[in-house]
C-alpha cells in the first residue's frame, strides 16, 4: 500500500481556492413572480366607528365575487353597492363617490340598460341583526376594483328599487368599508 504525501502548502492552497469569495458565489437568483391577490376585504363600519361586518371580494374569471356578512344592523332590506372610491369619511360616507360604474351603464339589476358594475341585490338583515349575501359582479374586474383610488363597499338605510338611476332610492349611507388586499 502506497501513501501519497501532499505538501501542506499545496493542500492549504487548494482549500483556500475552494473557499474564496469567487467560488462561493451562487448562481443569479431567478426573478420572483408575485402572485396576484386572491381577495380584498372591506371592514364595514358605521359613522360612529362600530364594526358591523365585512365584504370580501375575490377574482372570479372576468368577474368579481362578493361575499357579505353583517351583524348588529337594523333588520330589513338594505341596498348594498360597491362604490367608486376607496374612502369612507363619515358621517355620510359621500367620499366613497357614486356606484362603481366603469362602463357608464344605467343603475339597477332590473334596468334594461343597467347595471353598474357595483350594483347588487338587496341585503336582507334578520331580526337578530345578521345577514349574508353572495353575488358576482358581472363585467367587473379585480384590477378595476383595486385601481389607484380603490373602491369602497357601502350599506344603505333603505332597500334599492333596482331601477332608479343613479342610486335606486336606497337612502342614506349607514356603513362603509374600504377594500384592502389581505
Segments making up each domain of the chain, as ranges: 40-181
Q: What is the pLDDT along the chain (182 residues), one digit of tens a residue?
A: 444 444 444 444 444 444 444 444 555 556 555 566 689 999 999 999 999 999 999 999 889 999 999 999 999 999 999 999 999 999 999 999 998 888 887 888 888 777 888 889 999 999 999 999 999 998 789 999 999 999 999 999 999 988 887 778 899 999 999 999 97
Residue 14 DSSP SS3 = helix
CATH number, domain 40-181: 2.60.40.200
Question: How confident is the model at residue 27, as a pLDDT?
Answer: 53
pLDDT of residue 58: 96
- Please answer whether residues 136 and 145 qualify as being in contact, where contact means their C-beta atoms are separated by less than 8 angstroms: no
pLDDT score for 18: 45
At residue 163, the pLDDT reads: 87
* Cell numbers at 22, concatenated: 469567487
For residue 172 the three cell numbers come to 342614506
Q: Which helix (H) or strand (E) holds 140?
A: none
CA distance linking residue 84 with residue 149, whole number of Å: 8
Amino acid at each position: 500500500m502506497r501513501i501519497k504525501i501532499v505538501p501542506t502548502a499545496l493542500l492549504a492552497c487548494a482549500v483556500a481556492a475552494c473557499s474564496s469569495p469567487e467560488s462561493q458565489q451562487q448562481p443569479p437568483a431567478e426573478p420572483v413572480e408575485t402572485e396576484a391577490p386572491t381577495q380584498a376585504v372591506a371592514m364595514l363600519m358605521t359613522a360612529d366607528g362600530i364594526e358591523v361586518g365585512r365584504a370580501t371580494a375575490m377574482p372570479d374569471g372576468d368577474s368579481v365575487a362578493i361575499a357579505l356578512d353583517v351583524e348588529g344592523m337594523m333588520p330589513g332590506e338594505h341596498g348594498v353597492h360597491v362604490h367608486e372610491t376607496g374612502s369612507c369619511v363619515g358621517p355620510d360616507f359621500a367620499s366613497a363617490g357614486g356606484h362603481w360604474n366603469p362602463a357608464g351603464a344605467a343603475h339597477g339589476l332590473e334596468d334594461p340598460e343597467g347595471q353598474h358594475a357595483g350594483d347588487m341585490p338587496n341585503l336582507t338583515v334578520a331580526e337578530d341583526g345578521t345577514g349574508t349575501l353572495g353575488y358576482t359582479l358581472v363585467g367587473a374586474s379585480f384590477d378595476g376594483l383595486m385601481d389607484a383610488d380603490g373602491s369602497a363597499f357601502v350599506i344603505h338605510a333603505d332597500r334599492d328599487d333596482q331601477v332608479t338611476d343613479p342610486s335606486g332610492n336606497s337612502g342614506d349611507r349607514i356603513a362603509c368599508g374600504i377594500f384592502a388586499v389581505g
